[in-house]
Structure 1
Amino acid sequence: MKLKTVSNALGLVLIGYGIIILSPIVVAVLEKEYTSILPFVVASCCSITLGGLCKWKGGRINNFDSIKRSDGLLVVTLTWLVTALIGAIPYLFYGISPLDAYFESVSGLTTTGATILTDFSLYPKDFFFWRSLSQWLGGMGIIVLFIAILPQFAVAGRRLFFAEAPGPTEEKITPRIAHTAKALWMIYVLLTIAEVLLLYLAGMPLFDAVCNSLSTMAAGGFSPHPQSIMGYGNPSVVWIITFFMFLAGSNFALQYRFLVQLKPKSLLKNDEFMFYVFIVVVLSVALCGFLFFGHDMSLEKSMRDSLFQVVSILTTTGFSSADFALWLVSAQVVLMTVMFVGGCAGSAGGGIKVVRILFVGRYLKREIAQTLHPQAVLPIKIDRTTVPDNIQRQMIGFLLFYVCLLVASGLIVTIIEGDASIGFIGTAATIGNIGPGFGEIGPMGSFGGLAASTKVIFIIDMVVGRLELIPFLVMLHRDFWGVK
């Protein structure tokens, strides 16, 4: 492992991040919240100074063409941990404890949306803008952003790109990975702007429209309103955000082909996207029935809330259009089901991912058929292409480790909190980067009252879940730490 290369790359990212963290100052000036300027200046100085030290220790390296996969994994992991630490600095100025500040920062950058806040009236607007902006940066990926804008990562970007978003397939939409990163960010930015405009036209205040749009496209769920989207009491807003959450949970590369390359058939030919639509439709209809008959809601409201909450939990956004913790158990079971699915590969959503669920279904179907016909050659295909054996092993390994981490973390937290609901639902919500769960940590609740050790475990779950477990697993191997 080339530690100087890792240090230099990390330093470059931290310097850029230090510049970005000055953005909330614009909101502070516009809102005349001048006392809120200092927290972001301090955080920016810390990030730039630390970045400069890392570059100084790393020596004079102008490109990272020789960076190895293990180096890339370490750069990505350190980037998420350190940027979350820097991002927590502004929260300290508002009376939040160091652990809670780091929890809130990690929750933002990993787009989890689990909050420790209990009284939103205590904080200024630039505070909420930073929460949403941090989610927006984490939604597409901090490393992907710098691959798109920094020429130093032009070649090494491929290793960093797939280290940050390690899905079951390595998909790029242009020959050069830097161009792919730019294309993905272009779609991301344009959809965010479109949502801001539509929410504003629907009657949402401009500041709230910006913050909610940043969180929506990141599949994050942080809202400046303490009651999430339910607090606006605007059906049009609910429908608009549902649509953009759906887009945030689908593959951005697929959206690029559809919107920019004008290939509409790419949607219909994509097995994962069609399965994604199937899950949304079937579970929304089921939930709508439970709400309509069990809660005496109107058909329109039942349809609206059911579609919104299914898409919100499925894409791991975590917004709420209603307090689903008060719904019938049957309705809650539907939402608990989608908690274990997640968005599509290549999306801002977390979780297991739709393509892995699709693979498991076809794998089990193949095993049943293989039992009946032992001599038959039955390949597993997705998008009419046979899934290679190494990708199959990777997906099965991911699912096994996901379950093991879910059980282990759930049991430990249950012992700490004395509550199995918090233990397992909280773990599912954090490792899947979903955010709210049920009960005390439900859509109108907070993670602030949990034990310090529980928060530490959930922080680990959020980071490991965002990195999709792969870097974490690799770094447990002794060969990973061969230093040069």
Structure 2
Amino acid sequence: MTFYLDWRASVSLLGTVVKYLALTMLVPLTVAVVYGDDIWVFAASLVIALVVGVALERLDDEPDIGPTEALLLVSLAWFGAAAVGAIPYILAGYGTESTLAYPINALFEAMSGFTTTGATVLGSISVEDHSHAIMLWRQLTQWLGGMGIIVLMIAILPELAVNGAELMQSEAPGPELQKLTPRIAETARALWLIYFGFTILLIVILYGLHLTGMAPKMNLYNAIAHGFSTLPTGGFSTKADSIAAFSGIVQWVFIPFMVIAGVNFALFWQVLHGEWRALVDNPEFRTYAGAIAVLIAVLSFVLVRGAAPPLEIGGVTTGLTENTIRQAAFQIGSLMNSTGYATADFAQWDPHAQLVLVFAMFIGGSAGSTGGGIKVIRWLVVIKSLRRELYTTLHPSAVEPVRLGGRIVDEDAIRGIVVFTMLYILLFFIAALFLSLDSARIGYELSVLEALSASLATLGNIGPGFGSLGPFGSYLDFSPISKSVMIFLMWIGRLEIVPVLALFVGGLEDRD
């Protein structure tokens, strides 16, 4: 079967996205003016992005897109956003020894930002060597990508709202898009308003702690910067020691907001509209909250047994102390929904503690959240489907539908979830093998655990891995080829694999 593709319509709308994305550089440009550094970098970047956006926009005066064009637009928009995001890094690094001066490193950092992965090529030492404007742009890319670039554009641009449902379905994390209002543009605005509200609330609390003297390092700049990277489950920090640089009370504040970011934002909309039991009645939320609680308890038990060296950054002391529980709660809250913040160097913990963290990474957040990973709802459907297969093996004549929250799950939806899960696991292992072989080719020592964690951290948009790729480590030493593969993994992982791969299935012909 041949599918016809009007690529000009998709690329034209991509130009619209790039044009408006360029305007977001006014935020770091303002910061550059305030601090007096890198003003020309963001002024030039803004102009370059605007020119490119306008040029692409003129390819089609009246773009009309269908399902195939929607897939192409969403895929191109995320890659285009990363390309735009890399421009300030390259310009700021030009003529310096910054690792971001190299285009592959700049693209890696930008893709990691927009896809809210949080993997970095900067390293713990060089993070604080960059200007306030560059660091805030790094944080802002995560906030823009958290709820979705296309969702934002649908909320503000009428030309995209016409085909908004198809676009949001292609971009939204999870197997199902929940329409909150009769108009898809209103749904997009509702999601972004909730997202914006939680971001502002976190910034106010963090800066309030600073004003009371309980968080001396959490000034207004740091409060805004970390607000930009918490709700999108991004994980970038302006500090080399991540959240370990801040006081214990600040770390406790981050935990509930990281958990909130992994919840389906549609549930918050329902609660705000009087449906008070929306959270407790939702099977995915109950499983998500239960999994977090159980994993925190398990990790706390492992840490009590002395799984972490007490003298490391954010290290834990033996015994059931407040610090031990905080370390367990923070790391689980961060890694299960792919935030990637850290208050301890868990790369130095023993294998039992690391195994708990890997398990949390594989679960992921909820559908409709900003979290990455496979997603809780998919695991629920897969487990219930496996139980059904075992039951029908014993009772061949029985008709046993898969139910979730009292509703029968459509068989097409089950098939789609199983296909996604198998593709995810297959890509994970193939990428890990490739990264291991390519690292051996260049003489870079990469253990099996590090290769597996690099693949999982980028495909699942998680960020930190283990070993040299831990929360205070860096992806800098990988070859350009391996970095390109991980850029692809972050891109395809954020779009949940299928929309990107679907473009390569079957024949695609230009409508003209």
TM-score range relative to shorter protein: over 0.9
Is 2:73 the partner of 1:75?
yes
| 1:470 Cα deviation from its structure 2 partner | 1.3
Q: Which residue of 2 aligns with 1:291?
A: 303
Q: Which residue of 1 aligns with 2:24?
A: 20
Is 2:389 the partner of 1:367?
yes
| 1:468 Cα deviation from its structure 2 partner | 0.1
Q: 2:509 & 2:230 partners in 1: Cα distance?
A: 38
Q: Structure 2: which amino acid aligns with 1:72?
A: A
Q: Structure 2: which amino acid aligns with 1:458?
A: M
Is 2:459 the partner of 1:431?
yes
Decide which moves more: 201-210 or 387-396: 201-210
| 1:375 Cα deviation from its structure 2 partner | 0.9
Is the Cα–Cα contact under 8 Å of residues 251 and 345 in structure 1 kept in the other structure? yes
Deviation per CA, 1:203-257: give whole Å up to 9, x if none.
221111111111000100000001100111x111111111100011110111111
**Displaced runs of 4 or more, over 6 A:** none
* TM-score, normalised by the number of residues in structure 1: 0.96
Q: Structure 1: which amino acid aligns with 2:7?
A: L
Q: Which residue of 1 aligns with 2:275?
A: 263
Deviation per CA, 1:127-177: give whole Å up to 9, x if none.
110011000000001111010011122221111111111521121111111
Q: Which residue of 1 aligns with 2:53?
A: 51
| Aligned partner (choices 308, 312, 327) of residue 334 of structure 2 | 312
* TM-score, normalised by the number of residues in structure 2: 0.91
| Aligned partner (choices 456, 465, 476) of residue 484 of structure 2 | 456
Q: 1:162 & 1:316 partners in 2: Cα distance?
A: 21
Is the Cα–Cα contact under 8 Å of residues 352 and 399 in structure 1 kept in the other structure? yes
Q: 2:113 & 2:394 partners in 1: Cα distance?
A: 49
| 1:79 Cα deviation from its structure 2 partner | 0.7
| 1:316 Cα deviation from its structure 2 partner | 0.2
Decide which moves more: 447-456 or 215-224: 447-456
| 1:120 Cα deviation from its structure 2 partner | 2.1
| Aligned partner (choices 111, 118, 136) of residue 143 of structure 2 | 136
Deviation per CA, 1:304-348: give whole Å up to 9, x if none.
111111110001000001111122221111001111111100000
Q: 1:327 & 1:305 partners in 2: Cα distance?
A: 12
CA RMSD of aligned residues (A): 1.3
Is the Cα–Cα contact under 8 Å of residues 475 and 481 in structure 1 kept in the other structure? no
Structure 2 residue matching 1:317: 3-state secondary structure: coil
Summarize the Cα distance change of 1:166–1:285 in structure 2 as closer, same or farther, 3 Å threshold.
closer
Is the Cα–Cα contact under 8 Å of residues 100 and 116 in structure 1 kept in the other structure? yes
Summarize the Cα distance change of 1:184–1:106 in structure 2 as closer, same or farther, 3 Å threshold.
same
Structure 1 residue matching 2:273: 3-state secondary structure: coil
Structure 2 residue matching 1:294: 3-state secondary structure: coil
Structure 1 residue matching 2:362: 3-state secondary structure: coil
Q: Which residue of 2 aligns with 1:188?
A: 195
Q: 2:468 & 2:280 partners in 1: Cα distance?
A: 41
Q: Which residue of 1 aligns with 2:163?
A: 156
Q: Structure 2: which amino acid aligns with 1:385?
A: R
The percent identity for this pair of structures is 38
Q: Which residue of 2 aligns with 1:207?
A: 221
Q: 2:396 & 2:334 partners in 1: Cα distance?
A: 42
Q: Which residue of 1 aligns with 2:83?
A: 85
Decide which moves more: 406-415 or 120-129: 120-129
| 1:373 Cα deviation from its structure 2 partner | 1.1
Q: For this pair of structures, how many residues does the alignment match?
A: 476
| Aligned partner (choices 11, 15, 20) of residue 15 of structure 2 | 11
| 1:482 Cα deviation from its structure 2 partner | 4.7
| 1:7 Cα deviation from its structure 2 partner | 2.3
Q: Gaps (5+ residues) in structure 2?
A: 210-214, 308-317, 441-445
Q: 1:211 & 1:12 partners in 2: Cα distance?
A: 27
